[in-house]
C-alpha cells in the first residue's frame, strides 16, 4: 500500500542560453516590487547585493528586456521599480508555475497513488 504522506515537489526554471529565471529570481522581483528597493529586497533575502545584480543582469540578457527601472541614491534616496515587461513576465511565470504544479500533483496521484 502506498505511503499517503508522499508528495512531489516541482520547481519551474526558465532557460535561455543559460538558466535565467526561477523561484529565486521571482521572489527577488516580488520583494523589489513590494519594497521599491533592490537593496532592501536583498537584505530581506539575506543575499549579497552584487549577487542580486548579477542574477538580474543574466535574466535580462536571456529574456531580452529590462526587469528594473532604477534610480540612484541622492537627497531623496534611490530605489527600484519593476518594468511593465517584468511585471507581465512575473505574472505569467507564476501562472505557469501553478499550472505545472497542479498537473504534477494530479499526475503524481494518478501514477504513483500519492
**Domain boundaries defined on the chain:** 17-108
The pLDDT assigned to 40 comes to 95
pLDDT tens for residues 25-59?
A: 999 999 999 999 999 999 999 999 999 999 999 99
Share of the chain above pLDDT 70, in %: 91
End-to-end CA gap in the chain: 10
Residue of 114 and 50 predicted with greater confidence = 50
CATH architecture of the domain with range 17-108: Orthogonal Bundle (1.10)
Residue 96 pLDDT exceeds 90: yes
The pLDDT assigned to 76 comes to 63
The pLDDT assigned to 94 comes to 98
Which helix (H) or strand (E) element contains residue 30?
helix 23-35
Query: 87: pLDDT confidence band, cut at 50, 70 and 90?
Result: very high
Of 99, 37, 86, the closest CA to residue 60 belongs to 86
Contacts 24+ apart (CB under 8 A), 2-5: 2/112, 2/113, 2/114, 3/114, 4/114
Amino acid at each position: 500500500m502506498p505511503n499517503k504522506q508522499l508528495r512531489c515537489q516541482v520547481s519551474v526554471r526558465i532557460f535561455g542560453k543559460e538558466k535565467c529565471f526561477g523561484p529565486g529570481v521571482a521572489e527577488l522581483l516580488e520583494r523589489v516590487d513590494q519594497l521599491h528597493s533592490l537593496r532592501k529586497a536583498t537584505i530581506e533575502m539575506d543575499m549579497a547585493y552584487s549577487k542580486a545584480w548579477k542574477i538580474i543582469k543574466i535574466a535580462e540578457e536571456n529574456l531580452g528586456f529590462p526587469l528594473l527601472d532604477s534610480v540612484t541614491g541622492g537627497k531623496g534616496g534611490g530605489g527600484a521599480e519593476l518594468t511593465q515587461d517584468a511585471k507581465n513576465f512575473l505574472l505569467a511565470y507564476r501562472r505557469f508555475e501553478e499550472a505545472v504544479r497542479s498537473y504534477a500533483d494530479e499526475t503524481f496521484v494518478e501514477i504513483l497513488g500519492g
